[in-house]
Amino acid sequence: MTIRDELKAALVQLDQNPYSFEKLALEVFRFQFAQNPVYNTYVKFLYKDIKKIDRLEKIPFLPIEFFKNHQVISGQIEPQMIFESSGTTSSNTSRHLVSDLPFYELMSRNTFEAFYGPLTDYHVFALLPSYLERNNSSLVYMVQNFIFHSFSQFGGFYLDNLDEMIENMTEAAKDGRKILLVGVTFGLLDLAENAFFAEKIKALSDKIIIMETGGMKGRRKEMVREELHSVLTTAFGVKDIHSEYGMTELLSQGYSKSEGVFYLPKTMKILLREINDPFTYLPSFALGEPDQDVKYRGRTGGINVVDLANIDSCSFIETKDLGSFTPDYEGFKVMGRFDNSDIRGCNLMLS
C-alpha cells in the first residue's frame, strides 16, 4: 500500500477527535509538500525549515487562485476528470484535477449520509440548469452520484421540464421516502415565482427538503441569504431552506439545515484569518478568559479550508470567502466575499 492509499484509508476511518484530525492533517501536509510541485514552491517561499510546521495553524494555505493558472496535483498521477468552476465568464476559471473519482464519490456520499441519513431514504431531484449545460461541474457529478445511489425511479435532473418534475415529485411522495430538491438559486426563485408550481410544492412541504447551492449566474440581482430563504420558505411552505457549502476546489462539503449556519464533516475544518493579515488567525475555539472571548466572538475573517479529501491535489486552501463562527464555534456562516474577488456560481450571495 502506498502512502497515498494509507492516507485515504486513514481518512475514511477518521474519528471526530480534533487531535486525530490535526495529526492526519500534518501527515497530509508532509505528503503534499513532497509530491506537489506547486505547493512545494509556495511553502518554500514562506518557510526555510518545514520541521517548524508542527501545528495545524502553521500549515501554509495555498491561495485559491493557484487553481486557475497551475496544475495543482500531488504526484505523477493522471487525472480521471477535470472539474471546472462556474465563473461568469468562460475564461480564467478554476480547474481541479481529480485522480480518484471513486474516492470522491465515496467521501461525498458519506458526508451527505452523516448529516441526512441513507440516500435510499430519498428521491433526489436536481434543478441545476446552468450547471447541466457544462460537462465538467463537480456539483452535477456529486448530485448524479446521489441520484444513482438513491435507487429512485422518480429522481433526476430537470431543465425546462418543470411540469414533469412536479408530477414526479407528487408521485414519489406517495411511497414514504423524503424528497430532496437540490437547486441553483435562480432556478429555485423562478420556481417560487410560478404560482402553480409553488402551490404543488407547498402541498408536499412536510415531505420535502429544499437545498440551495447558491448561484445567480448573473441572471438575477444578488440577494442576501436571509432574504432568499425568506422568499423560498414563504413560497414553498417549508420551515427552513437547507444549503450546501462546496466549491470546485474542494472534494468535501459542508451543510446547513437552518439559518445559513454550516457544519462540517470529519474531513474538513475551517480557520478564519484576519482580513488584513492572512497569516494571523481568529480563535477557532472559546478562549479561557470571558472578556477575551467576547472580544473575538462573532468577528468576520477570511475562510481558510482544510479538506483532507483533497489528498491528490491540495488540502489547505485560502479561499476568498468571508465567514464568522457561531458563538459555540461548532458552526459558521458565510458572510460574503472579499472585494474584487471572482463572482462564482456557488458563492454569489452576499450578506
Q: Which pLDDT tens digit goes with each residue over 121-157?
A: 999 999 998 787 788 999 999 999 999 999 999 999 9
Beta-carbon count within 10 A of 26 CB:
16
Q: How many CA atoms lie within 13 A of 298 on its CB side?
A: 3
The answer to whether the CB of 342 falls within 8 A of the CB of 320 is: yes
Ramachandran region, residue 339 (left: φ > 0; alpha: ψ -120 to 50; beta: rest): beta
Q: pLDDT tens-digit profile of 256-302?
A: 999 999 999 999 999 999 999 999 999 887 655 555 556 667 899 99
How confident is the model at residue 92, as a pLDDT? 83
**Rounded-to-integer distance, Cα 217 and Cα 86, Å:** 8
Residue 53 has pLDDT above 50, yes or no: yes
How confident is the model at residue 133, as a pLDDT? 77
Q: Write down all domains in the chain, each with its CATH number in brackets.
A: 3-93+266-347 (no CATH), 101-256 (3.40.50)
Residue 97 has pLDDT above 50, yes or no: yes
The answer to whether the CB of 323 falls within 8 A of the CB of 335 is: yes
How confident is the model at residue 304, as a pLDDT? 98
**Rounded-to-integer distance, Cα 215 and Cα 225, Å:** 11
How confident is the model at residue 223, as a pLDDT? 80
Say if strands 301-307 and 316-325 run parallel, antiparallel, or are unpaired.
Answer: antiparallel
Percent of the chain having pLDDT more than 70?
90
Place of cell 437545498: 211
Range with lowest mean pLDDT among 15-29, 74-88, 230-244, 276-290: 276-290
How confident is the model at residue 101, as a pLDDT? 98
Place of cell 466572538: 297
The answer to whether the CB of 312 falls within 8 A of the CB of 342 is: no
Vertex 294 angle, CA 17 and 224, to 5°: 85
Residue 100 has pLDDT above 90, yes or no: yes
The answer to whether the CB of 21 falls within 8 A of the CB of 45 is: no
Q: pLDDT tens-digit profile of 301-320?
A: 999 999 999 999 999 999 99
How confident is the model at residue 218, as a pLDDT? 56
Choose between 166 and 298: higher pLDDT: 166
**Rounded-to-integer distance, Cα 238 and Cα 201, Å:** 9
Mapped onto helix, strand or coil, the DSSP state of residue 194 is coil
Residue 217 has pLDDT above 50, yes or no: yes
Mapped onto helix, strand or coil, the DSSP state of residue 208 is strand
Among the residues of the chain, which ranges form H helices? 3-12, 18-35, 37-46, 66-69, 101-116, 129-132, 138-150, 162-172, 185-192, 195-202, 225-236, 290-296
In 3D space, the residue among 128, 132, 227, 248 whose CA is nearest the CA of residue 183 turns out to be: 128
| Amino acid identity at 335 | M
Residue 345 pLDDT class (50, 70, 90 cuts):
very low
**Rounded-to-integer distance, Cα 271 and Cα 257, Å:** 21
pLDDT average, residue stretch 70-74: 98
Residue 8 has pLDDT above 60, yes or no: yes
Residue 38 has pLDDT above 80, yes or no: yes
Say if strands 81-84 and 332-337 run parallel, antiparallel, or are unpaired.
Answer: unpaired
In 3D space, the residue among 264, 251, 239, 248 whose CA is nearest the CA of residue 215 turns out to be: 248
pLDDT average, residue stretch 232-246: 97
How confident is the model at residue 349, as a pLDDT? 41
Cell digits of residue 243 = 444549503
In 3D space, the residue among 292, 167, 188, 275 whose CA is nearest the CA of residue 238 turns out to be: 188
Beta-carbon count within 10 A of 287 CB:
13
pLDDT average, residue stretch 61-71: 97
How confident is the model at residue 130, as a pLDDT? 76
Global confidence as pTM? 0.92
